[in-house]
């Protein structure tokens, strides 16, 4: 598919900010407006999905040498693969990678999440983001026998929308971008509420851009959202009572295709 012109535009965001009485913050805020992709999944028989195509769930299309990841003996579930060749990455940032495939893995086991505190605290090891430069000679790998049916997700094709996203008020406060409490309140209650009502497609799957905050939307400004997984009954994903799973990465690490320090955060509604 082709991507439409970015909506909203920077001018749209600036105008809305000025109408909220926060125009003086524009020069600071515009540095934190981030383009990203909102993704709408449609479940489909995996045999109808071309090997190597971007998708949610199903079986990963990986090199034959790929070793299935696990955490302390618990096999991880395959969440999604993003084929960068299918995304207009230059529209996001000129020095971001533009080819190859990203794969996202995470242990999908609520009993482990809630009964073993060390899992959630092991934020950099409880997930795997795998990358291959290959887009051919891939095999659709079978799930390991250690995964239960509930830990294997239905396959879904992705329809994407390129959009500009704005940070949450928690992010602005945590990074001292807006320090005045009254202005932070005005940002969240006036500007952001109007922005979301006008432009936001809702909670969903995202690749890059800003996270969809459910409880807290703050994180260090040198980290970026890499992938956001939504709760979806058709696919079989449920994150902490209709919540979300986030993958974060340092911006420079993404440029270098270095994924060892990716960390995750899970939140419910």
Contact 161, 2 (CB under 8 A): no
CA distances from 253 to 26, 55, 157, 192, 258 (A): 28, 23, 27, 29, 5
Predicted confidence (pLDDT) per residue in 200-240, tens digit:
888 999 999 999 999 899 999 999 999 999 999 999 999 99
Confidence of residue 1 (pLDDT cuts 50, 70, 90): very low
Q: Can you tell me the mean pLDDT for 87-106? A: 95
Confidence of residue 141 (pLDDT cuts 50, 70, 90): very high
Q: Which domains does the chain have, with CATH numbers?
A: 39-162+208-267 (2.30.320.10)
Report the percentage of the chain scoring pLDDT > 70: 98
**Poorest-confidence range of 7-16, 49-58, 222-231, 253-262?**
7-16
Q: Using CB atoms within 10 Å of the CB of residue 153, give its burial: 0 to 12 exposed, 13 to 18 middle, 19+ buried.
A: buried
- Average pLDDT, rounded, for the chain: 94
- Does 268 have pLDDT greater than 90? no
Rounded-to-integer distance, Cα 32 and Cα 166, Å? 7
Supply the pLDDT for residue 83.
97
- Does 5 have pLDDT greater than 70? no
Q: Can you tell me the mean pLDDT for 53-60? A: 98
Q: Which is nearest to 245 in space by CA: 76, 127, 130?
A: 127
Q: Can you tell me the mean pLDDT for 8-13? A: 94
Q: Can you tell me the mean pLDDT for 28-57? A: 97
> Going by C-beta distance under 8 Å and a sequence separation of 6 or more, which residues neighbour residue 30?
10, 13, 14
Q: Can you tell me the mean pLDDT for 235-253? A: 96
Q: Can you tell me the mean pLDDT for 38-44? A: 97
CA distances from 34 to 13, 20, 100, 151, 162 (A): 12, 20, 22, 32, 11
Given the structure tokens 């960390």, which residue do they identify?
263
Predicted confidence (pLDDT) per residue in 225-234, tens digit:
999 999 999 9
Record the tokens describing residue 130, joined without a space.
């795998």
Supply the pLDDT for residue 202.
86
């Amino acid at each position: 598919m082709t991507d439409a012109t970015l909506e909203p535009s920077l001018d749209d965001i600036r105008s809305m900010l000025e109408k909220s009485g926060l125009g003086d913050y524009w020069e600071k805020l515009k540095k934190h407006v981030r383009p990203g992709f909102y993704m709408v999944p449609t479940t489909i028989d995996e045999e109808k999905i071309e090997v190597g195509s971007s998708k949610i769930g199903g079986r990963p299309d990986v090199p034959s040498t790929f070793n299935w990841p696990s955490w302390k003996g618990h096999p991880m579930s395959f969440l999604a693969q993003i084929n960068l060749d299918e995304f207009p990455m230059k529209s996001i940032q000129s020095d971001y990678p533009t080819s190859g495939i990203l794969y996202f893995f995470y242990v999908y086991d609520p009993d482990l999440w809630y009964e073993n505190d060390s899992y959630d605290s092991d934020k950099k090891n409880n997930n795997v983001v795998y990358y291959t430069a290959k887009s051919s000679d891939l095999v659709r790998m079978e799930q390991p026998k250690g995964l239960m049916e509930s830990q294997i997700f239905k396959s879904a094709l992705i329809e994407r929308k390129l959009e500009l996203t704005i940070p949450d008020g928690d992010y602005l406060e945590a990074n001292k971008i807006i320090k005045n409490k009254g202005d932070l309140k005005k940002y969240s209650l006036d500007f952001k509420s109007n922005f979301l009502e006008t432009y936001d497609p809702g909670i969903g799957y995202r690749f890059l851009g800003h996270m969809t905050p459910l409880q807290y939307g703050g994180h260090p400004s040198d980290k970026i959202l890499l992938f956001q997984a939504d709760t979806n009954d058709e696919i079989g994903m449920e994150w902490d009572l209709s919540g979300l799973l986030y993958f974060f990465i340092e911006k420079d690490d993404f440029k270098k295709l270095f994924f060892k320090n990716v960390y995750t955060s899970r939140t419910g509604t």
